[in-house]
A and B are shown apart, each in its own frame.
Chain A
Amino acid sequence: GQSLEQPSEVTAVEGAIVQINCTYQTSGFYGLSWYQQHDGGAPTFLSYNALDGLEETGRFSSFLSRSDSYGYLLLQELQMKDSASYFCAVSPLIKAAGNKLTFGGGTRVLVKP
């Protein structure tokens, strides 16, 4: 099965940089994804790492190291609107599983003025 661990909460000020780690135990997966969810809303896709290394998308970057069984999401130049929950997710390599996603516990990011 899959198990993904994230810190439960992070607090930072506007303009700061936040790194959210995701450590996992899994038998194999296609890639590591990150999603953002504001309170009461649906998750929205942020980033996807199929291979090891860094993927940069504007203020958000994501990193994956399969050898270390971990990845992270980096939020730069934090803005108040970045206050939300962030989830890492994987899709298992088991064919019978289809392309379903298993999510980590989520990290609530609180941005203060």
Chain B
Amino acid sequence: GAVVSQHPSWVICKSGTSVKIECRSLDFQATTMFWYRQFPKQSLMLMATSNEGSKATYEQGVEKDKFLINHASLTLSTLTVTSAHPEDSSFYICSARPMNTEAFFGQGTRLTVV
């Protein structure tokens, strides 16, 4: 199956700083990637759809100026959490669906804002 790599797997940052999370497709080209957020014991909530070479599409209620998404190449999408606050602490996961059936997920990034 396709491989999606996400980095870092965990990060601790101070309140007010920014954190960048990378998501790479290792063996396929992804014109579209998806960013999810997951709180403990809850489901995956789609934050935004990352589109290569164009602006991301954000889900309702997600602040685009706080969660900056860049998809500059066919194998890399980045999510930057700007001016992070403790309430942004969560598990962030990226995914891609190269064949429109099975979705492949990165390992996830556990963000803790202190």
Q: Chain A: residues with CB nearer than 8 A to chain B?
A: 30-31, 33, 35, 40-45, 48, 50, 87, 89, 91, 98-106, 108
Contacts and interface: CB of A to CB of B under 8 A. Distances in A.
B41 A108 contact: yes
A99 B105 contact: no
B49 A100 contact: yes
Interface residues of B, number: 24
B87 interface: no
Interface of B: 1, 32, 34, 41-46, 49, 57, 93, 95, 97, 100-108, 110
B46 A48 contact: no
Given A43-B93, A108-B41, A102 B103 contact: no
Contacts of A105: 42-43
A91 B96 CA distance: 13
A99 B44 contact: no
Contacts of A99: 32, 97, 100
B102 A101 contact: no
Contacts of B108: 40-42
B14 to A, nearest CB: 24
A42 B107 contact: yes
A100 B100 contact: no
Contact of B106 (A42, A50, A104): A42
B50 to A, nearest CB: 10
A91 B100 contact: yes
A87 B44 contact: yes
B43 A104 contact: yes
Nearest to A106: B43
A105 B97 CA distance: 21
B102 A45 contact: yes
